[in-house]
């Protein structure tokens, strides 16, 4: 410790200022445990996943280096491609629906009314459920002998076969359940954003003769834009990582990117290396999605006051 | 919107608008709550009624036998206990590390604050599934597989961003005078934090605890990857397996799902205001 600090003093400047000052030193000690656990449990493993994905690895041995072979095999694996397609469809459709329905709900309930508490609680209930338990509940309702949704859909001629035995219907099902579960959350975020827009801005626009539609386009949307980006980024990344819902609702039938990784790593373990390649693929693409939101769409990430 | 209150005063059309508004609210609440209500109904009816076509709307002879059955199942009791332990310990650890880090970020001055915060928040965008294989190997190497700790450690890391983010927001709202006064009186930074900030921030810490607990209670991926035996598996892992255990006993599956969600529904009803303030604290700067 002493040699380290004298060396820092010799280097002087920035580091001395940072670690020589007792208050600043305390500040670093206080963030250190959180940083360490994050580095050890999240960032170190991702490097290890990269390493494993470049080897002929199994759960028991690291195996020899094989370059990008696992990746090329992965892209030729129909299960992976199915998972990728399903994940992309699921993400695009569910996030779009959640955003538009959530925006309509937020606009509608952005006023003082009786029973606000009840509505807020109703909004939170689906959000607070464990996803797997929601999936179990909906699976019971989709079930062909006792399921109300299957019964009704069948009675009005919407479906010609049981929901749970058809992969397309299952994909529609997971999208519906996700919309049910997270639209209220999106509405809640957007509502909080709407409430930060001061009322006199609308008042002024009205005096100037702007109609409802103009006020929405010229005031609400631009001022809500930062909140919209936050909501969309969270939802997109959440949907892209989907695991619980696919796994439990379809009883392991429907493939997503995450279920492909899980099966490779944990269930079959024969595709351990390919599972790691898919892990790295998900990590990199999720990272690119976040970058896209921050750089291209201009999402603010500043954490300063 | 401001216009809504204005039309509300305009008489007849306002009344119609208002009626439509409440119809809309009713439908919204109904759709949100429907699965819980319906699955609850499935859990209290007889098997004959369950398989009836067309399905009955209201239960004919309500019975609690499915609940008796699952509560007398030791595996289910154990799973509830496991869930409580994993989420409870995760919450405590997360609040401890999270609050000291959050205090440092909210109140102390240091140069690398921005990268530190970015690193912590980046975890919320981190696909957990990407690291299950390396973590599995690491946990196996140190003998943590199939112990509560495997789930707890992983849950702590992924709950930290929300904990830190919320606590930073809450700590920033507190007046600075008190801790400065404490420091003038000779308290160290740590003492000022423990004796002044923590008691003052108790409501915010409590809100954070609720959200962290819900996060851990609902976690599934790590639990299903690292925990193999009924002695350690939480409800999120055990209940989907009921589908194969109680193959056609849909009533028991329904009852189990209801039991797991009831504590959450109660928590939401009691703390809805806090939860909403916590959930939206991060996304909206107001």
The closest CB to that of A266, out of B110, B225, B257, belongs to B225
User: What confidence tens digit (pLDDT) does each residue in A18-76 have?
Assistant: 777 777 888 888 889 999 999 999 999 999 999 989 998 887 777 888 888 889 999 99
A237 and B125 in contact by Cβ < 8 A?
yes
Are A63 and A147 in contact, with CB atoms under 8 Å apart?
no
Give the confidence band of B247 by pLDDT, cuts at 50, 70, 90.
low
What's the rounded Cα separation, in Å, for the pair A126 and A136? 13
Q: What distance in Å separates the CA atoms of residue A241 and residue A167, rounded to the nearest whole number?
A: 19
Q: Do B221 and A286 touch (CB under 8 A)?
A: no
pLDDT exceeds 60 at position B9: no
Write down the pTM of the prediction: 0.87
Closest alpha carbon to A269 in B150, B152, B137, B155 = B137
Look over chain A and give the mean of its residue pLDDT values, rounded to a whole number: 85
CA A91, chain centre distance (Å): 9
User: A105 and B28: CB-CB below 8 Å?
Assistant: yes
Q: How far is B121 from chain A (nearest CA, A)?
A: 10
Task: Give the minimum alpha-carbon distance from A9 to chain B in angstroms, rounded to a whole number.
Answer: 17
Tens-digit pLDDT profile for residues A277-304: 999 999 999 999 988 988 888 776 654 4
* CB crowding B113-129: b at 16 or more within 10 Å, else e: beebbebbbbbbbbbbb
Q: Do A248 and B240 touch (CB under 8 A)?
A: yes
Q: Which residue in B110, B153, B256 is closest to A41 by CB distance?
A: B153
Residue of chain B minimizing CA distance to A230: B283
ipTM comes to: 0.86
- The answer to whether the CB atoms of A140 and B39 lie below 8 A apart is yes
Say if the Cβ atoms of B51 and A141 lie within 8 Å: no
Question: Which residues in B lie closer than 8 A to residue A52 (C-beta atoms)?
Answer: 133-134
Angle, helices A131-142 vs B12-43, to 10°: value is 90
Per-residue buried b or exposed e for B203-228, using 16+ beta carbons within 10 Å of the residue's own CB: ebbebbbbbbbbbbbbbbbbbbbbbe
Contact A35 B116 (CB under 8 A): yes
**Per residue in A146-201, pLDDT tens?**
888 888 888 887 887 888 888 889 999 999 999 999 998 899 889 888 988 888 88
Residue of A133, A143, A188 to mutate when probing chain B, most B C-beta within 10 A:
A133
Which chain A residues have a beta carbon less than 8 Å from that of B254?
137, 140
Shortest Cα–Cα distance, A28 to chain B (Å): 8
% helix, strand, coil for chain B, step of 5: 80, 0, 20
Residue-level pLDDT at B10: 47
B270-286 pLDDT tens trace: 888 888 887 776 555 43
- Interface touch B275/A27, C-beta < 8 Å: no
- Indicate if the pLDDT at residue A11 is higher than 60: no
Q: Using one digit for the tens of pLDDT, what is the confidence trace for A81-110?
A: 999 999 999 999 999 999 999 999 898 888
Show the DSSP H helices in B185-249 as ranges: 189-192, 198-200, 202-218, 221-226, 235-245
Q: Per residue, what are the HEC states of B101-117?
A: HHHHHHHCCCCCHHHHH
Please tell me which of the candidates A31, A231, A301 has its beta carbon nearest to residue B104. A31
Cα separation, A34 vs B104, in Å, equals: 11
Q: DSSP letter at A218?
A: I
């Amino acid at each position: 410790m002493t040699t380290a600090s004298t060396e820092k003093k010799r280097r002087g400047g920035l580091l001395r200022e940072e670690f020589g000052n007792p208050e600043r030193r305390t500040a670093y000690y206080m963030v250190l445990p959180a940083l360490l656990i994050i580095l050890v449990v999240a960032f170190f493993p991702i490097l290890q996943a990269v390493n494993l994905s470049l080897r002929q690895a199994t759960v028991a041995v690291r195996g020899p280096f094989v370059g990008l072979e696992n990746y090329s095999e992965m892209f030729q694996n129909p299960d992976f491609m199915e998972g990728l397609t399903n994940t992309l469809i699921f993400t695009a459709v569910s996030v779009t629906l959640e955003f538009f329905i959530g925006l309509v709900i937020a606009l509608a309930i952005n006023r003082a009314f009786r029973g606000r508490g009840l509505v807020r609680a109703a909004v939170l209930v689906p959000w607070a459920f464990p996803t797997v338990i929601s999936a179990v509940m909906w699976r019971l309702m989709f079930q062909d002998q006792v399921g109300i949704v299957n019964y009704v859909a069948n009675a009005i001629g919407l479906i010609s076969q049981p929901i749970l035995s058809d992969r397309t219907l299952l994909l529609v099902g997971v999208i519906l359940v996700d919309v049910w579960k997270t639209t209220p959350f999106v509405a809640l975020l957007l509502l909080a954003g709407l409430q930060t827009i001061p009322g006199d801005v609308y008042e002024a626009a009205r005096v100037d003769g702007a109609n409802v539609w103009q006020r929405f386009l010229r005031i609400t949307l631009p001022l809500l834009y930062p909140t919209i980006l936050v909501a969309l980024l969270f939802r997109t990344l959440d949907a892209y990582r989907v695991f619980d819902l696919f796994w439990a609702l379809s009883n392991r039938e429907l493939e997503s990117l995450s279920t492909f990784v899980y099966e490779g790593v944990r269930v079959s373990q024969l595709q351990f290396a390919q599972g790691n390649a898919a892990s790295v693929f998900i990590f990199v693409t999720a990272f690119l999605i976040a970058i896209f939101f921050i750089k291209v769409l201009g999402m603010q990430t500043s954490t300063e006051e | 919107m401001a216009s809504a209150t204005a039309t509300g005063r305009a008489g007849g059309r306002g009344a119609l608008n208002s009626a439509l508004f409440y119809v809309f609210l009713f439908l919204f609440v109904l759709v949100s709550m429907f699965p819980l209500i319906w699955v609850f109904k499935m859990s209290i009816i007889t098997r004959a009624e369950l398989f009836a076509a067309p399905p009955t709307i209201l239960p004919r002879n309500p019975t609690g036998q499915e609940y008796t059955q699952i509560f007398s199942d030791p595996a289910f009791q154990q799973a509830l206990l496991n869930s409580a332990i994993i989420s409870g310990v995760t919450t405590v650890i997360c609040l401890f590390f999270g609050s000291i880090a959050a205090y440092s970020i909210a109140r102390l001055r240091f140069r690398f604050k921005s990268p530190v915060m970015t690193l912590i928040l980046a975890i919320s965008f981190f696909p957990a599934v990407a690291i299950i294989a390396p973590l599995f190997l690491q946990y196996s190497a140190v003998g943590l597989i199939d112990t509560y700790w495997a789930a707890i450690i992983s849950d702590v890391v992924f709950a930290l961003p929300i904990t830190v983010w919320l606590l930073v927001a809450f700590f920033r709202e507190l007046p600075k005078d008190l801790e400065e006064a404490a420091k003038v009186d000779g308290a160290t930074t740590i003492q000022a934090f423990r004796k002044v900030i923590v008691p003052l921030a108790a409501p915010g810490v409590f809100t954070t605890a609720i959200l962290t607990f819900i996060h851990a209670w609902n976690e599934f991926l790590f639990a299903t990857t690292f925990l193999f035996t009924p002695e350690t598996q939480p409800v999120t892992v055990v209940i989907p397996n009921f589908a194969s255990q109680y193959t056609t006993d849909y009533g028991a599956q329904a009852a189990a799902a209801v039991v797991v969600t009831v504590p959450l529904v109660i928590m939401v009803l009691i703390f809805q205001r806090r939860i909403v303030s916590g959930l939206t604290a991060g996304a909206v700067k107001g």
